[in-house]
Amino acid sequence: MSTTISPSTLTPNPVTQVYSAKRGKLNWFTCSVMAIFHLGAIAALFMFSWKALLVAAILWYFSLSCGIGMGYHRLLTHRGYKVPKWVEYLLTICATLALEGGPIFWVGTHRIHHQTSDREGDPHSPRDGGWWAHMGWILSGEVLHHGNPELERYTPDLRRDKFHTWLSKWHWVPLTVSGILLLAFGGWSYVMWCIFFRVTVGLHATWLVNSATHMWGSRRFITKDDSTNNWWVAMVTFGEG
């Protein structure tokens, strides 16, 4: 039987630990990385290859479905099911291929989101603006930087694990290694499609869950937040919409 753990049970004292989602100055490093990947995604259109597209689709599935959906979200954030540690670590590595940060950053942010969904303190609510919910919070969220103590308080289980702690710091390594291997065995067209195009599309797909599904869609149950079921977001996020 699977066991689901709510974010509050993994927080020492969620009542007194008030998270504050603030707009700050642009994080120029993050902005630069996002700009490079978006430009790379556009460049990929001029280097089309069916084989590169196929490999990109395979990596897209493993990074978003297995990595983000099964790994970061259902397993690490909610502890919705149990797997051997090696499977947990493998899913976590797959998630880093999506360029959405390390496990402590991603899980901490998402647990905060569930605790304060569409209320004061939600890191990415459309109530603070559609652009903010989709991408703005990544570019200028004042407290959403890797290793921030405010996020770490929400991930005591991950901080006790040496692998997750290490990968949270070096989360860019698996994507970098995969890029080098793709360049060596497939050439630049593989790099452009399997790294830049795939990652950029995957990022926007995930961000649509934060923005679009809290603005448009249908609701079967009345909740205190603005979350909805959105079929077209679900199509590009393996059901997360």
| pTM > 0.85 | yes
Torsion angle defined by CA atoms of residues 113, 114, 120 and 125, in that order, rounded to the nearest 10 degrees: 50
User: How do residues 137-154 score in pLDDT, each as one tens digit?
Assistant: 888 866 555 446 777 789
pLDDT of residue 13 exceeding 70, the answer is no
- Give the model's pLDDT for residue 94: 97
User: How do residues 113-127 score in pLDDT, each as one tens digit?
Assistant: 888 888 888 888 888
Across residues 207-230, what is the average pLDDT?
A: 87
Residue that wins the pLDDT comparison between 114 and 92 = 92
**Of 14, 3, 5, 23, which is closest to residue 112 (Cα–Cα)?**
14
- Give the model's pLDDT for residue 22: 59
pLDDT of residue 19 exceeding 60, the answer is no
Give one DSSP letter per residue of 141-159, joined into a string. Answer: BTT-STT-HHHHTT-HHHH
Q: Which of 13-22, 128-137, 162-171 has the lowest mean pLDDT?
A: 13-22
CB 213 within 8 A of CB 233: yes
Here the tokens at position 9 are 């049970």
10 confidence band (pLDDT: 50, 70, 90)? low
Task: Name the residue with tokens 């689901």.
Answer: 4
